[in-house]
Amino acid sequence: MPKEPSQKPKQTRKRIPRTCAQCRKRKQKCDSLKPCAVCKLRGEADLCDYEGAQPTRVLDDDDVTSMPISPAEIKRLREQLDGLEALVSSVVQKRPGLDPLGPEADSPRVDLEEYNVAATLTSIMVSRTVPSEIGQDPPIVEKVRRHCRTSTSSPSTWAQISYNPGTLLSYFTSPASSEQIADLQRQLPTYEQAQHFLKIYVHEFAWYHSCFNHRAYEAEAHKLYHHRDPEGHDIDDGQTAYRLITMATTYAIARMSIMKLPFENSTQLQLPISLVDRTNLSKRWLDASVACLKCADFESNPKIEAVVCLIIILEALWFDERFGGLEDLGALFELKCKAMTLAFDLALHRDPAHRDPGRGSQLESDKAHERRVLWWALMSIDGLYSGPGRMSSINGLEAVDVFLPALSSNSSTEDNHEGCPSGCTASNPLTGVKPRLLMGYVGHEIDRLPLRRNPMPTINDVLQAHRDLTSLEAHLHESHKIFFNGHTADRSRLPRCSRARRDAIYFYARYHFLVVKLHRPMHTVKRDETQPSSPPFDIAYHRKFVVDHARM
């Protein structure tokens, strides 16, 4: 008897896979298309805007050659983004007392609580177009204003936030007497010691501060110690604020470099040999650098090299506060908030040396790029400093001060990195569209790391950061591998790395080990008081655990 053919049930519709592209790439199950598994894993389901399109990603050199994007589209996108940034700057710089959302404004009132800046920037990154409604409503600017008022030490009125003569000076309201300044100058290390400390700092730490111009600092230090410039002209001693800024930077460099000073050089430079004495001297220099910074008049010296000391000092302060080396946390928080507000003014081109009374402050493009990077670095340090259980004074500002400047930058200069024996070139973080775009992306990822999470992170959060770093680490040369927990990634699993992505690896790896693994530059981990048998141990730093950008 012939066998009856089996009848399969008729398929009424094509099955839609319930996995987003990013989850398929990670070989993870996705319960629904929205939110995707990655957002759910990170506890950000309410922020997920996945609707079946490609997930948010950053373009690098390889992507541009493989994607069919016409030059006209790229030009149009840049024009849109430049217009968006111009809108933000123009609204922020409106005359004092004018409410951008009031009846005098051209834009209608919107509900700021429902406006999600991060989601808007994510959609811009995905679609590569700027929504038309952004040009009509200015809630991003209002969000900037709101966050600038989160600290009691920050300006509380809009008239103070807009630049006026004397505003930058009002941020640091601790005038120093001539006796205090003379005492601070007497405590400086000798010129020979300072020169030796600078060499150590450039070799060990300068890569950490992308904005640090050690040649400009060296010239200012020569003026500080010899009261004359390198050409032999006398320096006016009345420039007290100028000297204070250079002194603060000198103290900060000495405070960090003395912990790396070889013992055989200590006797020659008449410096302490024992670790305890070095630590005490380092703390005294830290206090002196803070005192100089709080007394400095930044309005009289708006050069970018003079403000870079904020990065050095804030980083040193954060490490001391994080590991119990600083007692006056209230003063530290106040100092940090003032520094952030100062950097905010600089990022918005409010430079006393370039202001125009008729049109507001103007700034050359190269200096504007430097100020944006300075602002980005300070924002990142602020995020590290905030810690668990605290709210950052600028939480959420990465949408304005990182993504927009990165996307609208159109410089592509490449510089040779010093110290590279092979003479290779790499994208300069201060310039270049794609590296800056990647910096913005990494800055956004840093904000997701466990130290910034509230409530406290789960083990999945830490594992996710670990997987992200593993993927990035696969692009590195074998001699520059980052070893952690005895594990190295398989480079064959991932595509060839571009120069722009190496910049992203540099920033991401640095913050991963500082935040997640809690590696420290110059201290020994304290003994666990609850476990008397646990011995203290040293944590190696810099070239073994963190990517050396100058040698990529």
Is 22 a member of any domain? yes
> Alpha carbon of 7 to those of 1, 11, 13: distances in Å?
18, 12, 17
- Say if residue 144 is in the same domain as residue 202: no
Q: Is the pLDDT of residue 117 over 50?
A: no
234: three-class secondary structure by DSSP: strand
Q: What is the DSSP pairing of strand 360-361 with strand 414-416?
A: unpaired
Is 502 a member of any domain? no
Is 453 a member of any domain? no
pTM above 0.85? no
Report the CATH number that the domain containing residue 26 is assigned in CATH: 4.10.240
- Say if residue 272 is in the same domain as residue 198: yes
Q: Which of 223-227, 334-338, 513-517, 529-533 is predicted least confidently? A: 513-517
Burial bucket for residue 365 (CB in 10 Å: 0-12, 13-18, 19+)? exposed
Q: Is the pLDDT of residue 36 over 70?
A: no
- Say if residue 322 is in the same domain as residue 253: yes
- Say if residue 131 is in the same domain as residue 262: no
* pLDDT confidence of residue 485: 32
* pLDDT confidence of residue 228: 64
Q: Is the pLDDT of residue 180 over 70?
A: yes
Is 434 a member of any domain? no
- Say if residue 244 is in the same domain as residue 327: yes
Q: Is the pLDDT of residue 269 over 60?
A: yes
Residue-range definition of the domain harbouring residue 199: 166-362
Q: Looking at per-residue confidence, does 438 or 176 come out higher?
A: 176
Domain count along the chain: 3
- Say if residue 113 is in the same domain as residue 259: no
79: three-class secondary structure by DSSP: helix
Is 514 a member of any domain? no
- Say if residue 28 is in the same domain as residue 68: no
Is 535 a member of any domain? no
Is 101 a member of any domain? yes
- Say if residue 202 is in the same domain as residue 140: no
Is 476 a member of any domain? no
The one-character DSSP state at 128 is: S
Single residue among 147, 162, 177 that ends a domain in this structure: 162
